[in-house]
Amino acid sequence: MIGAISSASEEKQPHDDKKFNTSEFILDHIADSHEWHYYTTKDGHHVSFPLPVIVYSKHSGFHFFMSNKLSHGHEHDGLKIGHEGEYKGKIIELDEDGKLRESLPLDFSITKNVASMMMAMLILLWLFISLGTTYKKSGIRAPKGFQGFLEPIILFVQDNIAIPNIGEKKSGKFMPYLLTIFFFILLNNLLGLVPTGANVTGNIAVTLTLAFFTLIITNISGNKNYWKHIFATPGVPAWVLPILVPVELIGILVKPIALTIRLFANITAGHIIILSLISLIFIFKSIGIAPVSVVFVLFMNMLELLVAILQAYIFTLLSALFIGLAIEEHH
Amino acid sequence: MELAAIGAALAVIGAAMGIGKIGSHAMDAIARQPEASSNIQTAMIISAALIEGVALFGVVVALLSIG
C-alpha cells in the first residue's frame, strides 16, 4: 500500500469558466486533509494518496477505511465529509434516512498532518539513534559525514540555550526535552517548505500540544521558591496579593499560549505569503507576471527558511527560560 | 472584512516600528564596539522574534474576526 499513488475518479473540471478563488486555494493548501494531494492534471484528474480514516461513532462503533471512499462527497457506512457551514471538512454521520446526526463522530484518522508528523518522527529516530550508536561504538570522537553536522547543533542547544538559562548542574535533566522540541519543530518547519509538504507546525493543535508540554514540565519541576513567588511574592504588601495572585496565575497560562501563537502564526503567515504570491499569476491571468512572482517567491522562501530555524530556536530558548525560572534557587 | 485588514495592517505597523528601532540601536551598538557584535546580533534576533510574535497575535485576531 505504501508507495502506491492511487488516483481518485475522473472529474472533468470546467477550467476558464471558474473564477480563481484565491482564499479557497490558500486555505486548501494550509489546512489538514484526509488525503495527500499531489497535483491535478490538466483534465481535472486528481493525483493523491488516500490516508486511513479511523472514526468512532456512538451509534455505529469503529470505522476503519481508506479515505478515497469519501472523495467527492461520496458517503460510506453513513459517514461523509461535510461541505458547507460549520461542518465543512469534518466527518459527519448520517442516519438511515440521510439526515444529519447531531453529535459528530470522534475522528482519530491519520490525516495529512499526522502522517507527516509520523514521517518526521521516523526521520528523527533514525538520525539520532544512529548517532548514538556511532558514539557508543567508536567513543567520544567527532563523527563523520552527516552526523558531524548534527553534533555542533546539539552542542549549540546545550551551551547556548540550556546552560545559560537552566544552569550547568540541572541542564542535563532537561536536555532531552529541549533537543526533542528543537529538532521536531525544525524538521517539521523545513518539511512544510518543500513542495507536497504538509503544514504541520502551522496547525494550532500541534503547537498548542508542544506548548502544553512546556507548561507541564515547567510546573512539575517548579520548586518551593517558584511557587512562593507566585502565591506570596516577597516584598509585596498583603492587600495587593488578592490582585497579584490571579495576575500571576494568568501569567503561568499566558506564556505557553504566546509560544503557541508565535510558532503557529509565523509559519502559517509565511505559507500564506508564498501562496498569495503564486496566486498572483492566476489572478492576473498573464504569463508576464510570472518572473516577478517567482523572484518574490524565491526571496520569501529564503526568508521562510530563516524563520523556520529562528522559530525553532526561539521556542526552545523560551522553554529553557521558563524551566530555568521554575528551578531557580533563592539568591 | 475591511476592518480586519486594517487591524492586521496596524499590527504590522507596530511591529515594523519596533523592529526598526531594535535594528537601528543594534547597528549603533555594533559600530561603537565591534568586538561585541555577535552578542548584539543574537540579542537583536531574539528581540525581533519576540516582537514579531506579539504582532502576529494581532494578525491572528484579525483572521479570527473574519470567520
Asked if residue A100 lies in contact with residue A75, where contact means CB atoms within 8 angstroms, the answer is no
- Distance, CA of A118 to CA of A123 (rounded, Å): 9
Residue A67's SS3 state is helix
All three cell numbers of A169:
548542574
Residues A276-319 pLDDT 10s: 888 888 888 888 888 988 999 999 999 999 999 999 999 999 99
Residue B11's SS3 state is helix
- Distance, CA of A182 to CA of A212 (rounded, Å): 15
Q: Is the ipTM of this complex over 0.85?
A: no
What's the pLDDT at A103?
76
What's the pLDDT at A67?
80
DSSP A287: T
Q: How far is CA A72 from CA A40, A45, A76, A191, in A?
A: 14, 12, 12, 28
β-partners of residue A201 are none
Preferred mutation among A261, A303, A322 to probe B, highest tally of B CBs within 10 A: A261
**A64 CB neighbour count, 10 Å cutoff:** 11
What does the DSSP assignment read for A146-177? Answer: THHHHHHHHHHIIIIIIHHHH-TTTHHHHHHH
Single out the residue of A211, A204, A161, A190 nearest to residue B56, CA to CA: A204
What's the pLDDT at B11?
92
Please state, for a pLDDT cut of 90, what percent of chain A lies above it: 34
Record: contact A314-B49, CB cut-off 8 A: yes
CB neighbour burial string for B1-10, b if at least 16 within 10 angstroms, e if fewer: eeebeebbee
Please enumerate in sequence order all residues whose Cβ is within 8 A of that of A248, keeping only pairs 6 or more positions apart, or say none: A229, A230, A231, A233
Helices vs. strands in chain A: H and E counts, helices first: 9, 7
- Distance, CA of B5 to CA of B59 (rounded, Å): 9
Confidence of residue A72 (pLDDT cuts 50, 70, 90): confident
CA A59 from centroid of its chain's CA atoms? 32
What's the pLDDT at A187?
95
Confidence of residue A3 (pLDDT cuts 50, 70, 90): very low
Nearest by CB to residue A261, choosing from B45, B49, B57, is B57
Q: Which residue has the cell 486555505?
A: A27
What's the pLDDT at A145?
82
CA distance B32 to chain A (A): 25
Tell me the pairing of strands A106-107 and A52-57.
antiparallel
**For residue B57, which residues of chain A lie inside 8 Å, CB to CB?**
258, 261, 265
Please state, for a pLDDT cut of 70, what percent of chain A lies above it: 92
All three cell numbers of A227:
511557587
Record: contact B59-A311, CB cut-off 8 A: no
User: Per-residue pLDDT averaged across B7-35, rounded?
Assistant: 94
Confidence of residue A18 (pLDDT cuts 50, 70, 90): low
Overall size of chain B counted in residues: 67
What's the pLDDT at A190?
94
What's the pLDDT at A74?
77
Residue A297's SS3 state is helix
**For residue B49, which residues of chain A lie inside 8 Å, CB to CB?**
262, 310-311, 314
- Distance, CA of A320 to CA of A238 (rounded, Å): 32
Record: contact A310-B49, CB cut-off 8 A: yes
CA distance A247 to chain B (A): 19
What's the pLDDT at A217?
94
Residues A186-218 pLDDT 10s: 999 999 999 888 899 988 999 999 999 999 999
Q: Which residue has the cell 457551514?
A: A85
Residues A115-174 pLDDT 10s: 999 999 999 999 999 988 988 888 777 778 888 889 899 999 999 899 988 888 888 899
Mean of pLDDT over chain A? 84
Confidence of residue A98 (pLDDT cuts 50, 70, 90): low
Residue of B nearest to A85 (CA): B67
What's the pLDDT at A57?
81
CA distance A271 to chain B (A): 14
- Distance, CA of A44 to CA of A14 (rounded, Å): 8
What's the pLDDT at A183?
95
β-partners of residue A55 are A63, A107
The answer on pLDDT for A50 being more than 80 is yes
Please enumerate in sequence order all residues whose Cβ is within 8 A of that of A176, keeping only pairs 6 or more positions apart, or say none: none
The answer on pLDDT for A14 being more than 70 is no
Asked if residue A222 lies in contact with residue A328, where contact means CB atoms within 8 angstroms, the answer is no
The answer on pLDDT for A5 being more than 70 is no
Q: What is the pTM of this model?
A: 0.86
B44 vs A100, higher pLDDT: B44
